[in-house]
């Protein structure tokens, strides 16, 4: 040892060295070598403290028990902001990166704000007719009866979300059979004829 240095100073220096090595182990990939050296330095600090006195040994033990978890938490919070952390951890993806962009999704997003009519009873999901086309839809919060007016409020994946509309839909021409749903023009082939 260097002459003139008290043993408790060596114990504190070993503790600081161990905490610094523990921080480096979190920030720099070393295969556990820095972690091993950190544990050895912290244990050496405690041993030197107990060689000085019981009070110094217990003080260093308590300091190590408090400081090591604190250093680990701080290091883990700081790590994503380091160059290695940015390379290892991926950023949070944006919605447009996750969801596929297809003509169908763009067409559905164009329906937001449009008014239509429920084609089936919607306890949670069902079918709605908007401008003569039938879409799968999901009710936003409440049951919707057959024929009730609905408004498209958002698109989730490939399904539209609707809520009851306040105003009626614009009238559609009733004389043009091509603009009407098939079930209103022709009878349902799967339905039993009346007896």
Supply the pLDDT for residue 97. Answer: 62
Q: pLDDT (tens digit, 9 = 90+) per residue, 96-134?
A: 666 666 777 778 888 888 899 999 888 888 899 988 888
Q: Which of residues 124 and 190 earns the better pLDDT score?
A: 124
Q: Is residue 56 part of a domain?
A: yes
Tell me if 181 is assigned to some domain: no
Residue 154's CATH number = 2.40.50.140
**DSSP-assigned states of every residue in 54-110:** HHHHHHHHHHHHHHHHHHHHHHHHHGGGSHHHHHHSPPPPPHHHHS---HHHHHHHT
Q: Are residues 64 and 107 in the same domain?
A: no
Give CA separation, 61 vs 15, 45, 111, in Å: 10, 9, 66
pTM: 0.44
Tens digits of residue pLDDT in 132-145: 888 889 988 888 88
110 and 72 together in one domain: no
Residues 37, 84: one domain? yes
Q: Identify whether residues 122 and 156 lie together within a single domain.
A: yes
Would residue 147 count as lying in a domain?
yes
User: Domain total for the chain?
Assistant: 2
- My answer on whether 84 and 12 are in the same domain is yes
Confirm whether 190 is domain-assigned. Answer: no
| Structural domain that includes position 111 | 100-165
């Amino acid at each position: 040892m260097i002459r003139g240095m008290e043993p408790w100073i060596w114990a504190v220096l070993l503790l600081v060295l161990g905490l610094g090595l523990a921080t480096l182990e979190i920030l720099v990939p070393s295969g556990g070598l820095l972690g091993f050296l950190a544990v050895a330095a912290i244990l050496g600090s405690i041993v030197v403290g107990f060689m000085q006195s019981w009070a110094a040994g217990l003080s260093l033990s308590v300091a190590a028990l408090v400081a090591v978890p604190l250093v680990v938490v701080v290091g883990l919070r700081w790590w994503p902001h380091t160059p290695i952390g940015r390379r290892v951890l991926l950023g949070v993806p944006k919605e447009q990166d996750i969801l596929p962009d297809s003509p169908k999704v763009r067409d559905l997003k164009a329906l937001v704000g449009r008014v239509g009519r429920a084609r089936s009873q919607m306890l949670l999901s069902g079918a709605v007719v908007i401008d003569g086309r039938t879409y799968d839809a999901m009710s936003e919060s409440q049951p919707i009866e057959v024929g009730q007016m609905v408004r498209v409020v958002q698109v989730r994946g490939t399904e539209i979300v609707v809520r009851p509309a306040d105003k009626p839909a614009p009238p559609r021409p009733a004389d043009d059979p091509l603009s009407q749903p098939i079930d209103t023009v022709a009878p349902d082939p799967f339905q039993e004829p009346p007896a």
